[in-house]
């Protein structure tokens, strides 16, 4: 791909919002609010793919035996999240999680717990760094929405929804992931791809109307302006007013 074509590909991406948060933060419910929004693509986590790769439930295998399956699972997560980042069917795109949280939170947690060998971690890191630095792959984002929950609230929600693979998850796992999300999105201990808008997601999702309307107004402005890439002054104004 020529440098000119590569540059055009990067400029023509949709306005991209990453919705991040712990397991049980309410990301799917929050994204459901945008389903009827015009000219907007909502991409949920590709969990169905993780549960069925030609009959293999990689998600369950990873939870059952992370030492054996964490590299296999996270390699596939990285691939499927890359597909989400590259999807471009509407001028605005909302993604549930990203290739960044996969690396900075979930892969890092496996490494911290000793459930991923250092050699495996370095392989995933090499792939991640290659994808981030490639001029032909656009991983840029315009806004990160952090649904911030306390570990106990997230854990109670997790138990309440009773998803099969999640029966193996202890409270400590949620606490560790919370700490890594905080380190990344609040402490800025890893690169953040866009300004961060923090929402108190300990509230019931029904009590997040004001936050939704604020985001809806901001996204509507982007939609009406016809911009596929965020304007720096708009972005800075939003950051100063809301972050």
Give 58-99 pLDDT, tens digit per residue: 999 999 999 999 999 999 999 999 999 999 999 999 999 999
Number of domains in the chain: 1
Q: Is residue 214 among the annotated active site residues?
A: no
pLDDT in tens, 138-157: 999 999 999 999 999 999 99
Identify the CA nearest to 91 among candidates 214, 221, 241.
221
Q: What tens digit of pLDDT does each residue of 43-57 get?
A: 999 999 999 999 999
CATH number for the domain spanning 43: value is: 3.40.50.300
Which residue out of 20, 45, 96, 120 is catalytically annotated?
96
Q: Which domain holds residue 225?
A: 3-242
Q: How far apart are the first and last CA of the chain?
A: 38
How many whole angstroms from its chain centre is CA 137?
Answer: 17
């Amino acid at each position: 791909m020529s440098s000119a074509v590569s540059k055009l590909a990067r400029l023509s991406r949709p306005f991209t919002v990453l919705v991040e948060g712990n397991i049980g933060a309410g990301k799917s419910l929050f994204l459901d609010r945008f389903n009827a929004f015009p000219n907007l693509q909502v991409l949920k986590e590709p969990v169905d793919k993780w549960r069925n790769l030609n009959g293999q439930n990689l998600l369950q295998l990873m939870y059952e035996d992370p030492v054996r399956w964490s590299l296999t699972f996270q390699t596939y997560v990285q691939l499927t999240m890359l597909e989400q980042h590259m999807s471009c069917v509407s001028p605005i795109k909302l993604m549930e999680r990203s290739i960044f949280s996969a690396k900075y939170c979930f892969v890092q947690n496996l490494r911290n717990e000793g459930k991923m060998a250092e050699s495996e971690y370095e392989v995933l890191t090499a792939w991640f760094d290659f994808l981030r630095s490639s001029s032909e792959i656009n991983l840029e984002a315009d806004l990160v929405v952090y649904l911030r929950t306390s570990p106990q609230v997230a854990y109670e929600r997790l138990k309440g929804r009773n998803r099969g693979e999640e029966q193996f998850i202890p409270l400590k796992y949620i606490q560790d992931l919370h700490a890594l999300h905080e380190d990344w999105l609040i402490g800025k201990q890893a690169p953040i791809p866009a300004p961060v808008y923090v929402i108190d997601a300990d509230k019931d999702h029904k009590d997040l109307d004001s936050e939704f309307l604020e985001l809806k107004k901001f996204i509507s402005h982007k939609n009406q302006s016809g911009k596929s890439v965020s304007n720096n002054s708009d972005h800075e104004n939003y950051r100063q007013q809301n972050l």
